[in-house]
Structure 1
Amino acid sequence: MEEHDYDYLIVGQGIAGTSLAMHLLDLGKKILIVNDSQAPSSSKVAAGIFNPLTGKKLVKTWLADDLFPYAKGFYGYLEAIFGEKFVHPAPIYRPFRSIAEQNTYLAQTADPKIASYIKQDGDSADLSDYIHAGYGGLEVIRSGWIDLPVLLDQSKNYFLEYGMLVDEAFDINALSVSTDGIVWKDKTFGKLVLCQGFKALENDFFNWLPFTPVKGQILEIETEVPLQDYIVNQGIFMFPVADKVSRVGATYSWDPLDWEPTEEATAELKEKLTALLKIPYQIRSEVAGIRPSVRDRRPLIGVHPAYHNVAIFNGLGTKGVTLAPFFANELAQHLENGKELNPLVNIQRYFSLYFR
């Protein structure tokens, strides 16, 4: 077997690349990550919420019973390694919009499929000091948020400390792919994994996949009083990240697909926030990002149809912090031990687009 300088070249150090890198290291693999920390990144600006029950109809997140326990263990493991807290468990409070919605939601709480994710006993949260919630609300548990900037910064420092990260833009012109291996800037690799998010559309390996990227904007606001440690979800989300500072979002737009906040998106969030929040606030900052979403709303994971040593880990969309740990392990096991990927995420489902 031919020896390479590294087992893996990973391009991108967002939540996908970071999760995959840690799983490959646990398998004893030698890796090198290439990432430009100065470039825009959807992971850096994402809210990082993990929510087991989503949508107006209170639907359990796809694979929640597998994803959530795995993510909890993985992030706890990283906190121990880095010696830094970035996991923030917090219940999600969903104010009822009407008596009819209250009755519908409360009837759903009897469903055993979702009951374990809903607070069933004790007093319900009372956020009426600052939230319009005249009909009360539902409290979702086993939820919270990941401070992604902290996680990614700590990961970056860890990878740099052990010589596993090159902080620069990935030059694809310096890349050579053959059946014998991967060569990039005079270093050889067994396999290449692209974890580039929206930037996957910029190279020929996987730009044929049906990405449907969507732009999102969030606000950081400051209130006169601290808010309770809840994620409030009613059309938008709002949750405290520091004393009197909260994060609010998010919008969905498709034109233009850039990284710049817009007045229109800010106005949309302010309108929804006015309907939700009773107390005055000031906007501290506005940020926008491009989510690497997919037509069928499932991740894009697997090996290229023509290059057996080139793989992709992408398309995590709005649920990246929940999906990344579990499917990083699935991909690592697939690449190293031949474990079959879930067909709903395997890019084989789109091979016809490549060969047409």
Structure 2
Amino acid sequence: MEDHDYDYLIVGQGIAGTSLAMHLLDLGKKILIINNSGAPSSSKVAAGIFNPLTGKKLVKTWLADDLFPYAKGFYSYLEAIFGEKIVHQAPIYRPFRSITEQNTYLAQTADPTIAFYIKQSGDLADLSDYIHADFGGLEVIKSGWIDLPLLLEQSRNYFLENDWLVDEQFEFNGLSVSKEAIVWKGKTFGKLVLCQGFMALENDFFSWLPFTPVKGQILEIETDVALQDYIVNQGIFMFPVGEKVSRVGATYSWEPLDWEPTEEATAELKEKLDTLLKIPYQVKSEVAGIRPSVRDRRPLIGVHPEYDNVAIFNGLGTKGVTLAPFFANELAQHLENGKELNPLVNIQRYFSLYFR
């Protein structure tokens, strides 16, 4: 590699950019991250839940057996660096809606690949003091949530202290890209990696990829009593983040694609919450974000079809906290050591859209 000021220019310090930066630093690379901490970010408002069994049909999360152990190690590593608690292990309680659903789910737990993630014995959850659960429920284990706002704040401070981050809005008109070098503000870089989430649609490098961004809204509520340390999942999720404060979400909408909470989304969440929660609550705050989702629901990772020094790490959708660490490592190994990317995430699957 030619002698550059930096090995990598990373644009974006959400969960994707942060995870990639940490992996490249571990490989001894010299990096510079550009991120405007005041700009909207889906990572900053995401719930951060990691859940090995998803959907109404209780399907194992894609690559769960690989993603979850890797994420656990990565976040434990960050906790050691920052001296902060980032990972909150919490079972997911799924109340049955009917006897039929109860029978269906319990039959599914006979599958050993599913049973591994289900609490089978011991004291099972009883949340009947505050949750409508007339038919009981299922308890998913090896789940929890990541405190993403704290993680991103601590990462930002860590990067700033080491002169690895510039806190400003990245402008593409200040960037020069050739096959020989990346130049930005007089500094040269070996490679550029765009980790911009929804904002990737605003530049020409990767705007041709089939993003299907989705707006989501979550609430913070306060109850008169402290809730048990469970994530409740039935149409919506709810989990405590403080003594009497819980997070509730999330909505899915496609118009308008902006970062503003709406009365309609709040009303939708409250309607679902009222059928789930027995006790009174007050809405304390509302936040909205735009998920960088993809048509085939797989991440968008890889190298530009014409510039082998320009890459993307994006499209993590609703499962960013589990996808980001694992695939940050995969991308870092691909860029540095030529390791093949999983074809289901490699943007080569969409090259025909670029060349058409």
TM > 0.5 between the two? yes
1:51-200 to structure 2, matched below 5 A, reads 51-200=51-200
State the partner residue of 2:278.
278
Task: Write the letter of the residue equivalent to 1:340.
Answer: E
- AA aligned opposite 1:161: E
Question: Take 2:93 and 2:2, find their aligned partners in 1: how far apart are those partners?
Answer: 55
What SS does the aligned partner of 1:273 have?
helix
Report how far residue 179 of structure 1 moved: 1.2
| TM superposition score normalised by structure 2 | 1.00
Cross-structure match for 2:338 = 338
Which residue does the alignment assign to 2:34? 34
> What's the counterpart of residue 235 of structure 2?
235
Give the count of matched residue pairs: 356
Aligned twin of 1:287: 287
Distance 2:157 2:318 in 1: 25
Deviation at 1:64, TM superposition (A): 0.2
Question: What does residue 226 of structure 2 align with?
Answer: 226
- SS for the counterpart of 2:66 is helix
Distance 1:116 1:182 in 2: 47
Instruction: Name the CA distance, whole Å, in 1 between partners of 2:150 and 2:66.
Output: 25
> What one-letter code is carried by the residue in structure 2 that aligns with 1:287?
V
- Give the CA deviation at 1:2: 1.9
Separation in structure 1 between the aligned mates of residue 287 and residue 78 of structure 2, nearest angstrom: 26
Correspondences of 1:288-327 after superposition (within 5 Å): 288-327=288-327
Q: Which amino acid aligns with 2:179?
A: T
Cα distance in structure 2, aligned partners of 1:155 and 1:123: 38
1:210-259, Cα deviation, whole Å (9 max, x unpaired) = 00000000000000000000000000000000010000000000000000
CA RMSD of aligned residues (A): 0.4
What are the ranges of 5 or more consecutive residues in structure 1 without an aligned counterpart?
Answer: none
Q: By how many angstroms is 1:180 displaced?
A: 1.1
Q: CA deviation at 1:137?
A: 0.2
Where 2:241 maps in the other structure, the secondary structure is strand
What is the deviation of 1:123? Answer: 2.4
Q: SS of the residue aligned with 1:242?
A: coil
Q: Deviations over 1:60-109 (max 9, x none)?
A: 00000000000000000000011111110000000000000000000111
CA–CA separation in structure 2 for the residues paired with 1:6 and 1:114: 45
**1:271, CA displacement in angstroms?**
0.3
Aligned to 1:353: 353
Secondary structure of the residue that 1:128 maps to in structure 2?
coil
Percent pairwise identity: 88
Output the CA distance in 2 between the equivalents of 1:97 and 1:243.
Answer: 28
Q: Distance in 1 between matches of 2:65 and 2:41?
A: 29
Deviations 1:122-143 (A, max 9, x none): 1210000000000000000000
Trace 1:7-46 onto structure 2 (pairs within 5 A).
Answer: 7-46=7-46
